[in-house]
Structure 1
Amino acid sequence: MPPLSDILILDFSTLVPGPLATLFLAEAGARVIKIERPPTGDEMRLYEPSVQGESVNFGMLNRGKSSLSINMKEADALDRLRPLLKEADVIIEQFRPGVMARLGLAYEDVRALNPDIIYCSINGWGNTGPKAAAAGHDLNYMAETGVLGLSVDGTGAPVLPPLLAADIAGGAYPAMINILLALRRRDRTGDGCQIEVAMGQNLFPFLYWALGNAHALDRWPVPGGETITGGTPRYQIYRTRDDRYMAAAPLEDRFWANFAKVLGLPPELADDRRDPKATRDAVAQIIARKDAAEWMRAFEGIDVCCSIVLTLQEALQDPHWAARGVFSQSLSLGGKTVPALPSIIAPALRSPDITAQAPQLDSMKP
């Protein structure tokens, strides 16, 4: 039996952070009811691309849930919700601080009906502090926590990241972790609690190396000049002769020694402590002499921690993922069956019968 099969979650969130968290909780067996605002529901339902009018993004993030459409500004809204509020184990919401209180759904309001409720709020800056009410998106959170400024191009300008790090790593994952911890504590004590997940704040652990140096040594990171941002030849992206790119990460000495040997680096350059820039330039020149496939054959069977930068299409064709069944779950989308979003829930903890489609708006309507 899935571990969360006895858990009911009311999900007031939209877009990415909350819906992704409840997707994984649903995969662990939880019953998730999306509380959506009429007439359109979650904004993600309107996002393109779509298949036969069904948003691909919404389908990916909301598989296996139910939907209840309620206009919370109507007089009978709380009356309609009250039975579910009393029954729910978890509430997750993603509004700016104060919105749920204005709707009569603050933690204290719900706790009065359901003392053991676990109430999780996800927002950008936290419920308190000067920025609490400020609007923001993933790029803003990365910009204002120093993350974005550490990844720069050749001109020193920040590079747009392809990942929603704040939404997912700073929002969805901490929400899920803290909800599970709160459920575990409630099992032991019977007490519910209020959880706050501040997406911007949760980006700081990614900078553990920079924070340690700054706080302990008063050494602040140089954009493009640190170990993982381009400051060493051992962690670089090099262009090959056929205009592909090699992600080279032979950080440890044993990997670097293998790498330098295959490349034929002379001893004075293989010792990259002498002149890291000279070594990096020499490596770049050597890598540029052969095609990507030639380098992969040269590295075959040798521990060098080097990879060719693949397109997403190429990555999905890797037989490794097929062998592991990463995309074995399916999603019904506009009459078409496509692979579902890979789950982070271990198979032993995953519900085997999670619905293979996202809910239609107000699918719970009598």
Structure 2
Amino acid sequence: MTQPLSGLKVLDFSTLLPGPLCSLLLAEAGAEVIKLERPERGDEMRSYEPKAGVDSANFVLLNRGKHSVSIDLKSSDALAQLMPSLKEADVLIEQFRPGVMDRLGLGYEALSRINPRLIYCSITGFGQHGPRAKEAAHDLNYVAASGTLSLTAGSDGAPVLPPALIADIAGGTYPAMINILLALRQRDVTGKGMHLDVAMADNLFTFQYWGLGNGALGQWPATASDLVTGGTPRYQIYRTADNAYLAAAPLEDKFWGNFTALVGFDEQALSKLSPGSAIAAVADAIAKQPVAHWEEVFKNQDVCTSRVLSLEEARHDAHFNARGLFSHTVTTADGVQMPALPVPVDAAFRSSDRSRPTPALGADNQILNK
């Protein structure tokens, strides 16, 4: 089957994570992606540790199946070199601060005049306009600014560092991908491209749908007070006797009834306790047995309870490997091979070539001369 994005050309001026992961998804669905990198050093992520050959493992995972062109965007002839590619590109991705691409002669208004069909996607932290548009920030700052970080809490009640780059991926990569596809579909109808303003901080508010709904009714959420912030025994992390952890989420009554019975409680008696007392009672019961005991007790039961796995354990879990999550590979520019990054692109849309390379810096400079 022909891949859905075959024939599309993408120019990716972005670095690090949000933009490169977005162009990876496009490449996995068949698009030709040309990664524009600065000479000598390239994308800063190439230099990260640990290394998989000459480049970092991070870079290798995010840039599978792309081309690399090394070019100094500030040079006097950069625009002339890029012009043939700019005229025929379908999508452009950039994540500079607002105004930078304009100063380089690569802003949307300038490029839309030479390529009216261009889908121009700008990914930034706070968007193309607004009081904070040019503020220097990273993932953690966007999570903090959107109110999301305030709803995490450690044992001392202070916010804790998120274990994933939520804003970059959930607020940047995925909305960019969604809107690029929507814009391409609209272009099928209108024949015209457009400028997409993807603001990572903006897009995090979607994840707080429940908190915003509560807040609209005057019940703003706080840590350890609401359904998904630790205010109920039905949505908790419990420590076991051997210092392992169980993630328990038996929210619905049928699951909660099963869970309480298996742990050894009378559901009606437990419901008469305050939330804090009920949490403490369940925690005390769970803490009396090792995690293996609880896994056996909960096995094949509808209780919505899982052992907290390490990333290494999860990577080798039989379920995920049976689904083929790590069946694709990536080969570095100097021949090192490793499992490719699992991506949320259905297997039916991905290339039948399960092993695709990551480009060496500037390996495809000849593309500009075609």
Tell me the TM-score normalized by structure 1.
Answer: 0.97
Find the counterpart in structure 2 of residue 158 from structure 1.
Answer: 159
Write the letter of the residue equivalent to 2:211.
A
Worse-matched range after superposition: 90-99 or 185-194: 185-194
Does the 8 Å CA contact 1:64/1:354 hold for their aligned counterparts?
no
Tell me whether 1:294 sits opposite 2:293 in the alignment.
Answer: yes
Does the 8 Å CA contact 1:247/1:308 hold for their aligned counterparts?
yes
Find the counterpart in structure 2 of residue 67 from structure 1.
Answer: 68
Find the counterpart in structure 2 of residue 39 from structure 1.
Answer: 40
Find the counterpart in structure 2 of residue 54 from structure 1.
Answer: 55
1:51 and 1:361 map into 2 onto residues whose CA distance is 15
Query: How far is the alpha carbon of 1:115 from its aligned partner?
Result: 0.9
Find the counterpart in structure 2 of residue 6 from structure 1.
Answer: 7
Does the 8 Å CA contact 1:93/1:122 hold for their aligned counterparts?
yes
Find the counterpart in structure 1 of residue 321 from structure 2.
Answer: 322
1:151 and 1:26 map into 2 onto residues whose CA distance is 35
Write the letter of the residue equivalent to 2:288.
R
Write the letter of the residue equivalent to 1:94.
Q
Query: How far is the alpha carbon of 1:189 from its aligned partner?
Result: 1.5
Query: How far is the alpha carbon of 1:307 from its aligned partner?
Result: 0.6
Does the 8 Å CA contact 2:331/2:355 hold for their aligned counterparts?
no
Tell me whether 1:206 sits opposite 2:207 in the alignment.
Answer: yes
Residues 154-201 of structure 1: per-residue CA shift (max 9 Å, x gap): 211001111100000000000000000001111112111110100000
Matches within 5 A, 1:261-340: 261-271=261-271, 274-333=273-332, 334-340=334-340
2:171 and 2:213 map into 1 onto residues whose CA distance is 20
Does the 8 Å CA contact 1:15/1:42 hold for their aligned counterparts?
yes
Does the 8 Å CA contact 2:257/2:267 hold for their aligned counterparts?
no
Q: Return 5+ residue gaps in structure 1 as ranges.
A: none
1:39 and 1:101 map into 2 onto residues whose CA distance is 24
Find the counterpart in structure 2 of residue 260 from structure 1.
Answer: 260
Residues 67-110 of structure 1: per-residue CA shift (max 9 Å, x gap): 11111111111000000000100101000000000000110110
Identity level (%): 55
Query: How far is the alpha carbon of 1:51 from its aligned partner?
Result: 2.4
Q: Secondary structure at the match of 2:357?
A: coil
Query: How far is the alpha carbon of 1:354 from its aligned partner?
Result: 6.7
Write the letter of the residue equivalent to 1:155.
D
2:55 and 2:128 map into 1 onto residues whose CA distance is 34
Q: Secondary structure at the match of 1:356?
A: strand
Find the counterpart in structure 2 of residue 125 from structure 1.
Answer: 126
1:317 and 1:64 map into 2 onto residues whose CA distance is 25
Query: How far is the alpha carbon of 1:135 from its aligned partner?
Result: 0.8
1:219 and 1:255 map into 2 onto residues whose CA distance is 27
Q: Secondary structure at the match of 2:238?
A: strand
Q: Secondary structure at the match of 2:309?
A: coil
Does the 8 Å CA contact 1:27/1:354 hold for their aligned counterparts?
no
Does the 8 Å CA contact 1:269/1:279 hold for their aligned counterparts?
no
Find the counterpart in structure 1 of residue 192 from structure 2.
Answer: 191
Q: Return 5+ residue gaps in structure 2 as ranges.
A: none
1:323 and 1:178 map into 2 onto residues whose CA distance is 32
Query: How far is the alpha carbon of 1:43 from its aligned partner?
Result: 0.7
Q: Secondary structure at the match of 1:26?
A: helix
Q: Secondary structure at the match of 1:200?
A: helix
Change (3 A) 1:136 1:115: same
Tell me the TM-score normalized by structure 2.
Answer: 0.96
When the two chains are superposed, the root-mean-square deviation of aligned CA atoms in Å is 1.2
Tell me whether 1:219 sits opposite 2:219 in the alignment.
Answer: yes
Query: How far is the alpha carbon of 1:274 from its aligned partner?
Result: 4.0
Does the 8 Å CA contact 2:328/2:355 hold for their aligned counterparts?
no
Query: How far is the alpha carbon of 1:355 from its aligned partner?
Result: 6.0
Write the letter of the residue equivalent to 1:314.
E
Residues 196-245 of structure 1: per-residue CA shift (max 9 Å, x gap): 10000000000000000111x11111122211111000000111011100
Does the 8 Å CA contact 2:13/2:35 hold for their aligned counterparts?
yes
Does the 8 Å CA contact 2:240/2:246 hold for their aligned counterparts?
yes
Query: How far is the alpha carbon of 1:268 from its aligned partner?
Result: 4.8
Query: How far is the alpha carbon of 1:338 from its aligned partner?
Result: 1.2
